[in-house]
Amino acid sequence: MQATHSPTATATDQRPPAPAWGGVFALSLGAFALVAAEFMPVSLLTAIAADLRVSEGQAGQSIAVSGAFALIASLALSALAGGIDRKRLLLALTMLMIVSGSVAAFAPDYATFMVGRAFLGVAIGGFWSMSAATAMRLVPAAQVPKALAIVNGGNALATVVAAPLGSLLGALVGWRGAFFCLVPVALVALAWSMLSLPSMPASALRSRRSMLTLLKSGPVALGMVAVSLFFMGEFALLTYLRPFLDTVTHASAATTALMLLLIGVAGFIGTVLIGALVKHHLVRALVAIPLVMAALGLALIAFGSSTLATAALLAVWGLVGTSAPVLWWSWLARTLPDDAETGGGLMVAVVQLAIATGAAFGGLLFDAHGYQATFGLSALILLVAAAFAAAAAPRDQERLTKPASDSADNSRVH
């Protein structure tokens, strides 16, 4: 089919003549800077609280604020962006990340610091909402999973280094210096994006359907429930892993740090390797990974007192859990080739709500009934997530095994 340049042209119709891998790697660097900035406060709470004269709990709210604004941005950006060229929009979001880091680093008081974190949340929500749609514009359909894996590789790498890097930089240059150290990284990402990203007119990326309209499709609704349950189950356990290691495994501070690093390293490896599953076994992987993680959660209850067994179980958890977002973004790109931007905003919102819900209910059970209840809840939710992923698969199976361009053609028939 000839590409059309009408206002209803789709992202799959207007791919560049050659893959823009430089743009993909620029996005990966941007993802690294965003995620590292998002979780930088984790290892610096005490210093931030002392300097800004607030409690550690108040300092910790900086992570909640960025998450809240990421949720708002993910829901609103596609509608508010209008006819803005998406390259310009991505550059603006990267600039906002630079502003955020500068405001946070030089904040004279707590309120100003939180404003900086709010700016970061907007950048996070906007960036991840557009990631799948942008990847679809930069490379051929067959290489979209690889592109998404590269972008998510920046995310995975940041989860590995954010906490230890923040702790190291905090000791060397203080918490303000640690925050500001990410500004040059964001500047490099900005310059790289300016040079490597092609123009992406809004007419090629704007969705023709709203989020509510997308949810009227059975497979899309089931898929969104599945991804929500997956992240809910994952973070119900992951959020309370540190007290589990302290009180059940009785790991020393050094051993705990090594185990957390092991999760991150295994996750980075999994993100690099996941592309092979995406290409030929996407639906099976979407069902299998939550099943494996449910089994791991139950195994941690049974063998959590053993340091060696716990380390092995957590390595597998990191390998499959950290790489799972690549699968879901690939599912989105193939299921909604003409609505990837709106669908991306919807998925980011769903994931943010799921993480908060999983952490909240997991915490209530942890306080009331101990880690067994929390980890058991995580396993149960992950099992249900697998069931919903399987339920979403049958109708999507044919579409998921076709090139994205074919899916786009089919969508115009309807």
391, part of any domain: yes
3, part of any domain: no
Q: How confident is the model at residue 413 (pLDDT cuts 50, 70, 90)?
A: very low
3-state secondary structure of 1: coil
CA nearest neighbour of 19 among 153, 150, 205: 150
Q: How far apart are CA 242 and CA 193, in angstroms?
A: 37
CA nearest neighbour of 262 among 305, 307, 314: 314
Q: How many domains does the chain have?
A: 2
- 336 vs 409, which has greater pLDDT? 336
- 155 vs 304, which has greater pLDDT? 304
3-state secondary structure of 310: helix
Q: Which domain holds residue 361?
A: 211-399
> Are 167 and 257 within one domain?
no
Q: What is the pLDDT of residues 228-266, one digit of tens each?
A: 999 999 988 887 887 888 889 998 878 887 887 888 888
**Which amino acid is residue 327, in one-letter code?**
L
Q: How confident is the model at residue 404 (pLDDT cuts 50, 70, 90)?
A: very low
Q: What pLDDT, on the 0 to 100 scale, is given for residue 17?
A: 58
Q: Which helix (H) or strand (E) holds 306?
A: none
> Are 252 and 293 within one domain?
yes
Q: What is the pLDDT of residues 323-365, one digit of tens each?
A: 888 888 888 878 777 777 777 778 888 887 888 788 778 888 8
What DSSP string describes 131-157?
HHHHHHHHS-GGGHHHHHHHHHHHHHH
- 160 vs 368, which has greater pLDDT? 368
> Are 201 and 217 within one domain?
no
Q: What is the pLDDT of residues 115-155, one digit of tens each?
A: 999 999 899 988 988 887 888 889 887 788 788 888 888 88
Q: How far apart are CA 198 and CA 133, in angstroms?
A: 13
409, part of any domain: no
Q: What is the pTM of this model?
A: 0.74
Please, is 332 exposed, middle or buried when counting C-beta atoms within 10 Å of its C-beta (0-12, 13-18, 19+)? Answer: buried
Torsion angle, alpha carbons of 206, 209, 210, 214, to 10? -120
30, part of any domain: yes
Mean pLDDT within 367-379: 91
413, part of any domain: no
> Are 303 and 225 within one domain?
yes
> Are 282 and 160 within one domain?
no
Q: What is the pLDDT of residues 40-60, one digit of tens each?
A: 876 687 788 889 998 876 787
Rg, the chain, Cα only: 21
> Are 148 and 251 within one domain?
no
> Are 192 and 308 within one domain?
no
Q: What pLDDT, on the 0 to 100 scale, is given for residue 16?
A: 57
- Percent of the residues in the chain that have a pLDDT greater than 70, as a whole number: 85
Query: Largest Cα–Cα distance of the chain, in whole Å?
Result: 63
> Are 27 and 160 within one domain?
yes
**Domain end residue (candidates: 205, 234, 262):** 205
CA distances (Å), 86 to each of 137, 143, 339, in order? Answer: 10, 20, 14
6, part of any domain: no
Range in 30-34, 99-103, 196-200, 364-368 the model is least confident about? 364-368
Question: Taking the mean position of all CA atoms in its chain, how far away is CA 8?
Answer: 29
What DSSP string describes 364-407?
HHHHHH-HHHHHHHHHHHHHHHHHHHHHHHHHHHHHHTS-HHHH
Domain holding 381: CATH number?
1.20.1250.20
Q: How confident is the model at residue 381 (pLDDT cuts 50, 70, 90)?
A: very high
Residues 6+ apart with CB under 8 A from 17: none
> Are 271 and 140 within one domain?
no
**Domain end residue (candidates: 144, 176, 205):** 205
Please report which residue ranges of 85-143 form alpha helices under DSSP H: 86-105, 110-138
> Are 216 and 90 within one domain?
no
Average pLDDT score, the chain: 81
Say yes or no to pLDDT of 293 above 90: yes
CA nearest neighbour of 200 among 342, 13, 408, 349: 13
Q: What is the pLDDT of residues 179-237, one digit of tens each?
A: 999 999 999 999 999 999 998 887 544 555 666 677 777 778 888 999 999 999 998 88
Q: How confident is the model at residue 396 (pLDDT cuts 50, 70, 90)?
A: very low
**Domain end residue (candidates: 205, 232, 254):** 205
DSSP state of 40: G
CA distances (Å), 164 to each of 175, 178, 328, in order? Answer: 13, 11, 28
Q: What pLDDT, on the 0 to 100 scale, is given for residue 210?
A: 64
